[in-house]
Amino acid sequence: MRNMLTIVLVVVAAILGFFAYQSSQKGNLLQADLAARTEAVTALEAEKAQLAEELAALQAEGEAAVTAARDAAASVQADAAAMLEKVSTLETEKADLAARIAAQEAETATALAAAQAEVAALTDQVAALEAEKAALQAQVDALTAAAPANSAPANSAPANSAPTDSAPANP
């Protein structure tokens, strides 16, 4: 019985040893798995840190781009305002020029009308003078025709005699 008890104790010790061995193997596997997972987590954390740095860099670039875009937009708005002001000034100058041109055209039209009226008056005056000239020429012709009949007494008259009332006066 003693042997039996020894055998039972040896078997129990062997079973317990076997379970202890398996438990240590499982523990080793779990430790290896834990080490692998820790290593994987460390690698992921390193990648996460790298991605966070890249994200920060991209955010900084994005903020810089947004700031540059705002500055460019402000510059464009300032340029647009300056150009709008320039256009407004040019429109005002254009309106002033148009008003001056209209006034000049009105003045020119008035001067033209006055010149045309003066031309008409001068034309009428020339026509009147032409009629007067024709009348005077008719008188001269009449006097010239009458002069041969009167030339005998005219030759007997003194050379410095004054003209008579019948002779027309030169205007």
Q: What is the mean pLDDT of residues 2-12?
A: 84
- In a domain, residue 149? The reply is no
pLDDT at 157 over 50: no
pLDDT at 100: 95
- In a domain, residue 77? The reply is yes
pLDDT at 156 over 90: no
Instruction: For 20-78, write each residue's pLDDT tens digit.
Output: 888 888 888 888 998 999 999 999 999 999 999 999 999 999 999 999 999 999 999 99
| Phi, psi for 161 (deg, rounded to 5) | -75, 155
- In a domain, residue 150? The reply is no
Length reported for the chain: 171
- In a domain, residue 1? The reply is yes
Whether the CB-CB separation of 170 and 136 falls below 8 Å is answered with no
Mean pLDDT for all residues in the chain? 86
pLDDT at 150: 62
- In a domain, residue 109? The reply is yes
The boundaries of the domain holding residue 58 are: 1-114
- In a domain, residue 166? The reply is no
pTM (2 decimals)? Answer: 0.41
- In a domain, residue 148? The reply is no
- Say if residue 136 is exposed, middle or buried (CB neighbours under 10 Å; 0-12, 13-18, 19+): middle
**What is the rounded distance in angstroms from the CA atom of residue 52 to the CA atom of residue 58?**
10
- In a domain, residue 162? The reply is no
Terminal Cα distance for the chain, rounded: 189
Whether the CB-CB separation of 136 and 168 falls below 8 Å is answered with yes
The total of structural domains in the chain comes to: 1
**pLDDT above 90 covers what percent of the chain?**
63
Whether the CB-CB separation of 107 and 99 falls below 8 Å is answered with no
